[in-house]
Amino acid sequence: MVHPLILGLSVLWSAAAALGATYSQSDSHQGDGFYKSFNFQAISDPTNGRVNYVDMATAQADNLTYSSGDTFILRCDDTTVLSSSGPGRNSVRIQSNKQYLDHVAVFNIRHMPEGCATWPAVWEVGGDWPAGGEVDIVEGVNSQSPNQATLHTNPGCTMPSSRSQTGTSVNNNCDADVDNNAGCGVQAPSTNSFGPAFNSAGGGWYAMERTSSFIKVWFWSRSSSSVPSDVENGDTSIDTSNWGTPFAYFPGTSCSMTEYFDWANIVINLTLCGDWAGESSVFADAGCSDSCVDYVNENPSAFKNAYFDFQWLKIYE
């Protein structure tokens, strides 16, 4: 039998943990700082996209990444007509050199890739996937809003059907082996959280807090009047207890965060088509014509707006 005092302290500790905490800035990436803090992954796309991920030298030579002042651009090629028998469209996938455990990551993004076939993502992944866990912070396909934050894990991690968040849960089983690796996703409540509407508003801020007891994801549009000042200014210290209810809340009540999530790298990438964006019904439902692969091969100019523009990324621990 648990002593009432111990039980009471446990409840108070859990409540305090869920409310948030104060963190100090440990890393700040801006402009050419991304080149120093991230490595370029010239690998085969694990999601089977119609892309050819290039190394840093190629990305810089072909202007697929470039920086100036407080700007870092990451995009795909938008000039080359592809042969159906050749490699995919040149694009970029970068991964942080450092790994993080309990932390907060704040992304100040002015623009994200949009258009048919696009599948942009900002996420974190542990080693030996899915054993080390995956947290998708920004993700969507074919310009279809809203944004969806999702966890992908080993079997056994689930989310409660009711929890304190402003978004809408679309699946509560995080097991990567179930439902074609759909994971346990939560859709943001605002249409300007993703795609053209996000870009028209000048982008915004995404923040992810990860602790030993929960993971939370917030979004504030550039046009919002309720952006916390420490987020907007990229302060050297932040207090997540002042950020309000997240749009996605993943508590550890039936998913031990220390068991299912390991030290993680931050990944930013743009793939095209692939297992999600290129699935025929998904592509068609977005109002996109032809087959996804043919569209990518034959329409380079369709990808002129398929780029990320980061003002900065700041990490707090």
* Cα–Cα dist 25/283, whole Å: 40
How buried is residue 89: exposed, middle or buried, by Cβ count under 10 Å (0-12/13-18/19+)?
A: buried
Q: Which entry of 114, 124, 134, 209 is annotated as an active-site residue? A: 134
* Cα–Cα dist 209/105, whole Å: 7
Structure tokens at 274: 């692939």
* Cα–Cα dist 136/300, whole Å: 27
Q: Which entry of 114, 124, 139, 209 is annotated as an active-site residue? A: 139
Q: Please name every residue paired with 186 in a beta bridge, in sequence order, or none if there are none.
A: 149, 169
Catalytic (active site) residue 134: yes
264's enclosing H/E stretch is strand 264-272
Residues near 167 by beta carbon (within 8 Å), at least 6 away in sequence: 149, 186, 187, 188, 189, 246, 247, 248
Query: Rg of the Cα trace of the chain?
Result: 19
Catalytic (active site) residue 114: no
209's enclosing H/E stretch is strand 204-210
* Cα–Cα dist 152/136, whole Å: 8
Residue whose pair of structure tokens reads 């623009």 in the numeric block: 111
Catalytic residues: 134, 139
